[in-house]
A and B are shown apart, each in its own frame.
Chain A
């Protein structure tokens, strides 16, 4: 197998990458196990029932609920569409669908293990605040120009 300038063959690079993934497998399997538990015990109906109809409260609730929820982003769009039909504010629905993909309670322990506790705390706090601000800015901009 051809070697690069550092003398590393592609086969060896492949083996190193595989070993890196294998060493992390217990952690990834743990996160997947948590995903299964959350998907089963935290239902769509439970998440939808959290919303109150108050736009300010619901935007916060949407961010928290989206952060707890796990699954395909597509599910959040469907659920978001249903919430809009129920009269839940666009701010809350935007926060919900955005938090669904940007925040993840189930992967926090793994993120902290891989990237450090301090980084994980900072990143998740920033992601939480960003999700709130992006939701508000999006709906506000849509109102002004839409």
Chain B
């Protein structure tokens, strides 16, 4: 198995070592905070593994491409928007699934749409309404949905050679 990001991990380890030399307490606190983040997103990883396995089990690569590939049309945008809105946890937790789907034909525009639509957090909507009002939340949500699709279309146009 080929591990990805070993150099990045080494660089972050070196950064911790450097910070440790200057501020032991804060660096230990940073390590604790990282541990807390990891513990919090472990269930998301299980979800990602489950989703990826289910998709690969239930859909053939050709079917994935027809739902999320170049010719997916309105259905593809609707799936990307819905998936973005209902997905939980940080963006990077979803990279393994996105990479897997991309190998099976997921188009770049839908990835951009999925990532931007993730800014709509359904469980947090009542809190947003409480802080900023219903009208603000409704208008912002509408514009986020529109911006997600526009970004996807622009990425598809800009990224014609991104996979080269």
Contacting residue for A115 out of B26, B37, B111, B158, CB 8 A: B111
Residue-wise, chain B 67-91 has the 8 Å CB interface mask toward A (1 for contact) of: 0000000000000000000000011
Cα distance, A50 to B159, chains bound together (Å): 34
Contact A33/B16 with A23-B2, A40-B33, A123-B115 known, Cβ cut-off 8 Å: yes
Q: Which of A30, A116, A137 has the most CB of B within 10 A?
A: A30
- Does residue A110 face the partner (Cβ distance < 8 Å to B)? yes
Q: Do the beta carbons of A19 and B30 come within 8 Å of each other?
A: no
Residue-wise, chain A 104-131 has the 8 Å CB interface mask toward B (1 for contact) of: 1001011101111011001100110010
- Does residue B24 face the partner (Cβ distance < 8 Å to A)? no
Contact A126/B52 with A24-B5, A28-B92, A28-B93 known, Cβ cut-off 8 Å: no
Q: Do the beta carbons of A37 and B162 come within 8 Å of each other?
A: no
Question: Which residue on B lies nearest to A81, using beta carbons?
Answer: B131
Interface residues on B, range: 35 or more
Cα distance, A115 to B94, chains bound together (Å): 12
How many of chain A's residues have a CB under 8 angstroms from any CB in B? Answer: 67
Question: Which residue on B lies nearest to A125, using beta carbons?
Answer: B158
Question: What is the minimal beta-carbon distance from B56 to any residue of chain A, in angstroms?
Answer: 5
- Does residue A46 face the partner (Cβ distance < 8 Å to B)? no
Q: Can you add 18 more A-B contacts, CB < 8 Å, to A22-B1, A41-B26, A107-B91?
A: A8-B56, A13-B56, A24-B99, A25-B3, A28-B92, A28-B93, A33-B12, A36-B33, A37-B19, A102-B119, A109-B5, A109-B8, A110-B5, A110-B8, A111-B91, A111-B95, A118-B159, A134-B140
Question: Which residue on A lies nearest to B38, using beta carbons?
Answer: A32
Residue-wise, chain B 31-50 has the 8 Å CB interface mask toward A (1 for contact) of: 11111011001000100111
